[in-house]
Amino acid sequence: MSVRANQLAALADAVAAVLPLSSPADATLHEFFRRHRQLGQRDRAFIAEGVFATLRRRRSLAAQAGSTEPRRLALAACIRELGISLRELEPALSREEQVWAREFKARRPALTPAEAADLPDWLWDALGVALPHERDALSRAWLAAAPLDLRVNTLKTTREEARAALAADGIECTPTPFSPLGLRATGRPALQHHPLYASGAIEVQDEGSQLLCFLVAPRRGEMVVDFCAGAGGKTLLLGAMMHSEGRLYAFDVSARRLARLKPRLARSGLSNVNPVLIESEGAARVKRLAGKIDRVLVDAPCSGFGTLRRNPDLKWRHTARAIDELAAKQKRLLAAAAALCKPGGRLVYATCSVLPAENEAIVDDFLAAHPAFAPRDAAAELARAGIAIDCGQYLRLLPHRHGCDGFFAAVLERRS
């Protein structure tokens, strides 16, 4: 593709807007596009691809470019990551930049392992402790974009029907390897105006996120709580698994996130979901459900490192100290959610992190302080749904091994 001067300038401006990393990259980019309404669809696609390529490979690009200046990084990403030739770029470059681009392409700097993996040193070291035999494979997997996973709404369609309808419109999908409700799209098709999406028959949801709900395994007529519901992707699946019967509470402390659930809920056809805005995990609306709930899902706020393929900015925004702060919050949330479980009730603790400090360590501390709860075997629970993953007691999903985002989950049960 030939790159125009105004396209490269817009990409450089977008990189400059995102790189302070004071806000999530997707939110910053959305605001950038809102302020530059003159940009066409192709320009926006080019800019988004360039920004996320820069974020994925920021450290090695900066080392090869010898600069962290946004335009230099944007130009480096175009050459090395987007595969745009110098001939296609040269009309958009000054003479000085043309010389620099040729020098950049020939440069092969010596990189440390962390630089080559495009990770901060502290995270590279932490992975060496947590996953010493898989660190290289995991870090390579994080450098690729995530696939687009869909989940069918069983109240409205089947996976086979949805796949056929999408194929008829030129959208090719394959069944996800583990979730019986998932489809993995080929490429990045635009779905927001597709009839299946508009009617609530399909939702965008990573396969790993779907699998968490099979660990909760809610039944018709039960009382269920999604303790950190967010925009409600898992809430909607839990409601469908309950056949829209019983009562499903979607708790969250963010009105903005719950507002994103509202249109999705309207499309879904569910009538058993109750979105509830709470001030904190200790809110009165939470406490009055103590000891009454059959199933509780705590998909706790976390580093999100399991999602680095789609959110590469997280590796640059978080620090080791931030993980300690998150762990303290995770412990509080799990303890508060546990109080809702009735005897014999199920509590599922989950994160989209790969770090033991946010996962096994939180569960171990909880079990030591709450002898009324006992762990259940996650592999056995999934097998009951016909899902074969040899994960053992805890579910650990990794993108290089399972193809989905990285997730952790523990199934805990309150003794009768």
Catalytic machinery residues: 352
Q: What are the distances in angstroms from CA 10 to CA 48, 70, 89?
A: 11, 11, 14
Cβ–Cβ under 8 Å, residues 153 and 240: yes
Give φ, ψ of 211 to 5 degrees.
-65, -30
Q: Nearest 5 degrees, angle CA 159-CA 245-CA 183? A: 15
In angstroms, rounded to a whole number, what is the distance separating the alpha carbons of residues 217 and 58? 41
With b for 16 or more beta-carbon neighbours within 10 A and e for fewer, the 304-323 pattern comes to: bbbbbbbbbbbbbbbeeeeb
Q: Which among 416, 388, 394 is positioned nearest to 407, based on CA atoms?
A: 394
Residue 45, both tokens: 């696609």
AA letter at 316:
W
Handedness of CA 142, 148, 154, 158 (dihedral sign): negative
Q: Are the CB atoms for 228 and 333 separated by under 8 Å?
A: yes
Q: 177 has which bridge partners?
A: none
Dist. CA 290–CA 285, nearest whole Å: 10
Whose CA is closest to 241, among 272, 200, 203, 199?
Answer: 272
Q: Alpha carbon 19 to chain centroid distance?
A: 20
Give the tokens for residue 179: 């979730």
Q: Is 413 exposed, middle or buried (0-12, 13-18, 19+ CB in 10 A)?
A: middle
The bridge status of strand 273-277 relative to strand 373-376 is: unpaired
